[in-house]
Structure 1
Amino acid sequence: MSLQSALIGFLLSKLLPTPLSPQEIIVVQTTAVATGTMPLAAGFVGILPALGLLEEEKDGSPPIRLSWLAAVGWSCSVAFFGVFLSPPIRKQVIIKEQLAFPSGTATAQLISVLHRMPPPDTTLRRRSGYRAIDTEDLTHPTAITDEPENHQEAIEADHDERDVVQREGWEDLLLSFLASGAMTLAAYFFPIVFAIPLFGKYLAREWLWSFTPSLSYVGQGIIMGFPTTLSMNLGMLVGWGILSPLSKDSGWAPGPVGDMSTGARGWILWISLAIMCADSLVSLLPVVYEYCIKLAVWYGPAKSGDDAETLEDLEVETADRLVPTKWVIYGLTGSICVGTILVWIVFGNDGIKPWATLIGFMMGGLLSILGVRALGETDLNPVSGLGKISQLLFAWIQPGNVVANIIAGGVAEAGAQQAGDLMQDLKTGHLIRASPRAQFYGQLIGSSLSIIVSATAYTLYQRAYTIPGPSFPAPTAYVWLSLARLLRDGQLPQNSASYMVLFAIIFGVIAGVKVMAAQRNHPYTKWIPSGIAFAIGFLNTPSFSLARLIGGIIEFIYHKRVAKSGGADIRLIVIASGFVLGEGVISVISLVLKTYGVGVASCWGCSGGICAGCPA
């Protein structure tokens, strides 16, 4: 949410007596991203729900549901490791390797437009795979604009966009916020609003084919872009339109379609897992290869002192604006030691041994470098695949311990997730010359605040809803638990192994083609299907993917027709942000209503268990 945080920070600063400078906006944005990263890094949408699904007969442990205090302790254990990793990784991937980080660069372009600054100088930081970004393509960080043929026209267009945002930004944000909030509140009292049986009640009830016209999903689709949402919906068609009926009719998944254990949804989950692993691993291969070559060049015996000094000279910041090395050393040591103790206190010896947690943190550091480099090259942080790598390792270190497998994998993934998200902001700060130390403070403040916010929100939602459940399915929780069980028992659903191999090969090849096309800066790279997005189409029911496709189509049409005919491309980001924020804020009101026993007003149209908010 770097672009959205920068936009909203800019709009809010216009209400102040003295508007914030570009560098101050970057610190605001960095703090916001650090705050928003915590629910993902701490596993509130995957790890913790997975622990709540444990079964003593299958897993050797009863379900683990953390209290508020335990959730705070778990969050503290992983909250700061990625933050203290960010300064040395910044030196490696932003200063030395000068990776692109397309979203971070696009955010820098956006801030320069809003503040009437010259575009950031990216030409001096050009490397393989790095491209300058035209400000008319701010929602498309991969757009190629290497030749400034119409420089004056571009400057005038930038100023027009800034004027539009200042003049109409608040109105657009408010209207989109209110529209999304009103629809969210209506869906709480009338659940059929978010469960429209667009393809008939039979398909909605038996095969989960319904439509959720959530403006938040539409806004997410706008932000994700048309190619990604298209890949997601292709996965939806293959998973829910072909493989789900095939597994059900063949008797491989005899249970109800939505059952994650015996139904088609649980069966196709394994195909999704194979696709994610294949895509992530193949995408990481060139990153690992290039990284090994760089290490050999930098630290090999032939490396001269003059060359090493030249690399150090690439740093453009003075020492008083950088994070001191001793802070990093003390911070990493302290966060690892305190984190290990807190994990032991929260889960005990029966959950995971302290030495295994230490290995998890070390794995997190290594995986962070791979994940950040992949993010810098492709704008995609492959944390899902990295998490599976950590699970495979811990299946060997602590065999048969499902709880330890999930927890240690979560510790390792947290570092990669957090370091990657924060690195985009550090790239923005590098281009606009914001203080890395000020951004570091913002990261610490955001992560600290989010410990309380995330733990409190998760505890309240757990009291009001079943997680995972109809309203919050948390599909990644089943991915974590299913792989941990597979590594313990070695049992796959009937006939799923052959399809896993088939789809892994197909998307391994597709990922290889995509990597090669990206290295050659091929203009059609973004249209090659994304394996991760394709797999997410399997994990989520069709209702989640269809609304995002609408957002992707809107983004595509708007960008090709409206923005290119003189409209403001930034304006679409403002509207999409309002859609996302509206549902997010009003959902808190829904949570309060649910907590105090205020139920739905009418279950009209929800017969047969179509709606999550109504009884079957």
Structure 2
Amino acid sequence: MERIENQQEHRKRNNVEEIETISTERIFDTKAAPQWKKQLTFRAFMVSFVLSVLLSFIVMKLNLTTGIIPSLNVSAGLLGFFFVKTWTKLLQKSGLLKQDFTRQENTVIQTCVVASSGIAFSGGFGSYLFAMSEGIAKQSTEANKEQNIKNPSLGWMIGFLFLVSFIGLFSVVPLRKIMIIDFKLVYPSGTATAHLINSFHTPQGAKLAKKQVKALGKFFSFSFLSAFFQWFFTAGDNCGFSNFPTFGIKAFEKRFYFDFSATYVGVGMICPYIINISLLVGAILSWGIMWPLIETKKGHWYPEDLSSASLHGLQGYKIFISIAMILGDGLYNFVKVLSRTLFGLFQQLYGNKTGDLPITGRSAPTNQPVPYDHHRRTQLFLKDQIPTWVAIGGYGTIAVISIITLPNIFHQLRWYHVLVIYIFAPTLAFCNAYGCGLTDWSMASTYGKLAIFTIGAWARTSNGGVLAGLAACGVMMNIVSTASDLMQDFKTGYLTLTSPRSMFVSQVIGTAMGCAISPCVFWLFYKAFPDFGVPGSEYPAPYALVYRNMAILGVEGFSTLPKHCLQLCYTFFAAAILVNSIRDAVGKKWAKYIPLPMAMALPFYLGGYFAIDMCVGSFILFVWRKVNKDKAEAFGPAVASGLICGEGIWTLPSSILALAGVQPPICMKFLTRKTNARVDNLLGS
């Protein structure tokens, strides 16, 4: 499953900078920052829990359908502000209010919610974790013996996540001063979130926030009711509005249609235009041109009598060419971010020696910071220190427990595999956190794929290498992902005068919530839908098969590929690197017209239906900006969040109805005229 880092692209287009021309802290000068313990309130964690459940359902649904996950930070901050502000107003009227709602408390809520719902992504429920299951293994003819299969179970999933999700937090805690104060890394996502929260707690910002929440609520209701209405027409396979042949039956068979998904219209409104266009270009290139051409080679390139799911047939080309593009894009960005990290470190150290201002990345402004803001924030950030022995002791303790325990959960993963991962993990976590501060680009999934290939090849097939590689992916991905997320949150805390201690505690509590909530949400989906994970079903979990085949490729090599597939993989791998190189070479002015290879790769396996939904979202936002740009910028994210949240939360009652055996009453299906005539004749006879 690929995130495509939509949150980073979204933050970049907000043009938010750390350096301000007007002092923010003077606005809040009359309000003293509360002590770190008072920032951690009961109401904050109550609201965080409710929002974590809501956003976990949304992220899980996106995980299990297409794997494209937009930034939900705005929704978390906005909804957190609304709920607690409403709570405090009610208490104030009744005379029971004991503590005002502060921006520090708002930051704690946002941190907790994002940490919790983030586990729904890094937990691998749509990728490496579900790829271990028997259902996904059956879709592949290789490495599907018992030693390479582990079916989901609530107990081991929760235990696994608790073992691997916290260690990344401890790995970078000692570096917080170096990253934020000394190196002055920008962390655009953390900076943008901080400015959002700061604005909410000014009189003018609070007034706008109320209007944004009203817009979010309106479109939340519309999206939820629309999903509820569509449910009545889905009593069977390929039934309902989601199978409406918008552009005709032939186009529908090639997966080109609008499926009336409010979720992906909303996602399209949040994602930059280039991502949505890239998805559409990828869909046209694959389903419109390549797959029809390869189908004509049936009987020459691959046998005619293969099942549609066989990796030795057309399915193999779809999956492995997509993997080649993903790996090419990932490798290019990994090298780019790593080189910038090393170059940035050199400049930081060289700048410190010569007394020059360190270079903080391509997003660094040229102006000097407001002295009062810088002094005030640095003073508060350094006040509540997290002892280094806590970080080292926490990392060592969790590492020892994991080395002993993980091989009992995954017998194919040996203790020395885990030890090697934990030896290299702090360095990789630092690289990811530092690179994220420079470029706002987290390479967590790329580090996970690196673990798949290295540990899988080390373990080999006979020793359950596929399962070992997938488990190693989970360990590595969780470590580097939580490390960069924590440093982003430290940046947010720095800019909102939130104590590092309260931020760390909030992150730990949010992570703990996510380790329990996300597996339960996944389990509800898993039990409610009998065809869960099956291609073409409501929740196909497409990247589970992609990740499993990456593991097979790492263990068995290229022997699994059909004829000429390897040459095509080489071509698209090189093309991904070439396109990225051209994008970087031509500069921002022209790069926005060149498609992103990672986004192009997603429809190769899934088809173009969700790309069309997202392009509709882009078109709505484009027209809105032409009509009223200021209003579109202010309310676009709120409207998009409402569309995403409404249909996303409908999955909870629909899952409960499915578990209770309640079926929709109507099947609305679309047939060609000839097929309809045959059905009429059959019924007439």
Q: What TM-score, normalized by structure 2, do the two folds share? A: 0.75
Q: Is contact 2:222-2:646 (8 Å) kept?
A: yes
1:15 maps onto 2:76 in alignment: no
Q: Is contact 2:107-2:492 (8 Å) kept?
A: yes
Give the match for residue 492 of structure 2: 428
1:287-324: per-residue Cα shift (whole Å, max 9, x none)? 32233345556779x98699999x9x995545442322
Give the match for residue 531 of structure 1: 597
Q: Distance in 1 between matches of 2:323 and 2:409?
A: 29
Matches within 5 A, 1:204-603: 204=252, 206-251=253-298, 252=301, 259=309, 261-262=311-312, 264-295=314-345, 316-348=379-411, 351-400=412-461, 401-465=465-529, 466-469=531-534, 470-490=537-557, 491=559, 492-516=561-585, 522-564=588-630, 567=631, 569-603=633-667
Instruction: Give the deviation of 1:377 after TM superposition.
Output: 3.5
Q: Distance in 2 between matches of 1:227 and 1:325?
A: 43
1:218-277: per-residue Cα shift (whole Å, max 9, x none)? 111111122211112211211221222122222246578963635534422222212222
Task: Call closer, same or farther: CA 1:538–1:367 in 2, change over 3 Å.
Answer: farther
Instruction: Give the deviation of 1:51 after TM superposition.
Output: 0.4
**Residue 45 of structure 1: which of 126, 133, 136 is its match?**
126
Q: Is contact 2:381-2:497 (8 Å) kept?
A: no
Instruction: Give the deviation of 1:475 after TM superposition.
Output: 1.7
- Shifted more, 488-497 versus 433-442: the winner is 488-497
- Shifted more, 385-394 versus 317-326: the winner is 317-326
What is the one-letter code of the residue matched to 2:565?
S
Q: Distance in 2 between matches of 1:375 and 1:602?
A: 49
Q: Distance in 2 between matches of 1:585 and 1:479?
A: 27
Q: Is contact 2:131-2:545 (8 Å) kept?
A: yes
1:199 maps onto 2:247 in alignment: yes
Q: Distance in 2 between matches of 1:86 and 1:589?
A: 40
1:25 maps onto 2:106 in alignment: yes
Q: Is contact 1:274-1:503 (8 Å) kept?
A: yes
Q: Distance in 1 between matches of 2:117 and 2:308?
A: 30
Q: Distance in 2 between matches of 1:579 and 1:100?
A: 31
What is the one-letter code of the residue matched to 1:321?
D
1:136-160: per-residue Cα shift (whole Å, max 9, x none)? xxxxxxxxxxxxxxxxxxxxxxx4x
- Shifted more, 6-15 versus 55-64: the winner is 55-64
Q: Is contact 1:255-1:264 (8 Å) kept?
A: no
Matches within 5 A, 1:60-209: 61-62=145-146, 63-88=149-174, 90-116=176-202, 159=204, 163-166=207-210, 168-191=211-234, 192-204=240-252, 206-209=253-256
Instruction: Give the deviation of 1:69 after TM superposition.
Output: 0.9
Q: Distance in 2 between matches of 1:237 and 1:370?
A: 36
What is the one-letter code of the residue matched to 1:481?
R
Task: Call closer, same or farther: CA 1:299–1:202 in 2, change over 3 Å.
Answer: closer
Q: Distance in 2 between matches of 1:255 and 1:550?
A: 39
Q: Distance in 2 between matches of 1:591 and 1:423?
A: 36
What is the one-letter code of the residue matched to 1:600?
P
Look up the SS of the partner of 1:446 in the other structure. Answer: helix
Q: Distance in 2 between matches of 1:260 and 1:95?
A: 54
Q: Is contact 1:271-1:496 (8 Å) kept?
A: yes
- RMSD (CA atoms): 3.2
Look up the SS of the partner of 2:647 in the other structure. Answer: helix
Q: Distance in 2 between matches of 1:189 and 1:266?
A: 36
Look up the SS of the partner of 1:16 in the other structure. Answer: helix
Task: Give aligned-pair identity as a percent.
Answer: 26
Q: Distance in 2 between matches of 1:88 and 1:554?
A: 45
Task: Call closer, same or farther: CA 1:409–1:428 in 2, change over 3 Å.
Answer: same
- Shifted more, 82-91 versus 478-487: the winner is 82-91
Instruction: Give the deviation of 1:25 after TM superposition.
Output: 1.0
Instruction: Give the deviation of 1:200 after TM superposition.
Output: 2.5
Instruction: Give the deviation of 1:506 after TM superposition.
Output: 2.0
Q: Distance in 2 between matches of 1:49 and 1:318?
A: 40
Instruction: Give the deviation of 1:33 after TM superposition.
Output: 0.3
Look up the SS of the partner of 1:17 in the other structure. Answer: helix
Instruction: Give the deviation of 1:60 after TM superposition.
Output: 6.0
What is the one-letter code of the residue matched to 1:452?
A
1:561-591: per-residue Cα shift (whole Å, max 9, x none)? 4224xx2623111111111111221101100
1:2 maps onto 2:83 in alignment: no
Q: Is contact 2:189-2:488 (8 Å) kept?
A: yes
What is the one-letter code of the residue matched to 1:236?
A
Q: Is contact 1:234-1:537 (8 Å) kept?
A: no
Give the match for residue 124 of structure 1: none
Instruction: Give the deviation of 1:527 after TM superposition.
Output: 3.7
User: Whose Rg is larger?
Assistant: 2
Give 5+ residue unaligned stretches, structure 1: 118-158, 611-616
Look up the SS of the partner of 2:87 in the other structure. Answer: coil
1:530-558: per-residue Cα shift (whole Å, max 9, x none)? 22212223243322221112122223333
Q: Distance in 2 between matches of 1:11 and 1:199?
A: 41
Number of residue pairs the alignment of both structures matches:
557
- Shifted more, 440-449 versus 228-237: the winner is 228-237
Q: Is contact 1:181-1:585 (8 Å) kept?
A: yes
Q: Distance in 2 between matches of 1:297 and 1:286?
A: 16
Task: Call closer, same or farther: CA 1:447–1:538 in 2, change over 3 Å.
Answer: same
Look up the SS of the partner of 1:413 in the other structure. Answer: helix
What is the one-letter code of the residue matched to 2:106?
I
What is the one-letter code of the residue matched to 1:511?
N
What is the one-letter code of the residue matched to 1:494?
K
Q: Distance in 1 between matches of 2:590 and 2:292?
A: 33
Q: Distance in 1 between matches of 2:435 and 2:621?
A: 25
What is the one-letter code of the residue matched to 2:129?
L
Q: Distance in 2 between matches of 1:305 and 1:384?
A: 37
Q: Distance in 2 between matches of 1:294 and 1:263?
A: 46
What is the one-letter code of the residue matched to 2:566?
A
Task: Call closer, same or farther: CA 1:86–1:193 in 2, change over 3 Å.
Answer: farther
Instruction: Give the deviation of 1:441 after TM superposition.
Output: 0.9
Instruction: Give the deviation of 1:606 after TM superposition.
Output: 5.4
What is the one-letter code of the residue matched to 1:368?
A
Q: Is contact 2:77-2:106 (8 Å) kept?
A: yes
Q: Distance in 2 between matches of 1:296 and 1:581?
A: 44
Q: Distance in 2 between matches of 1:83 and 1:65?
A: 28
- Shifted more, 456-465 versus 339-348: the winner is 339-348
Q: Distance in 2 between matches of 1:82 and 1:260?
A: 38
Look up the SS of the partner of 1:285 in the other structure. Answer: helix
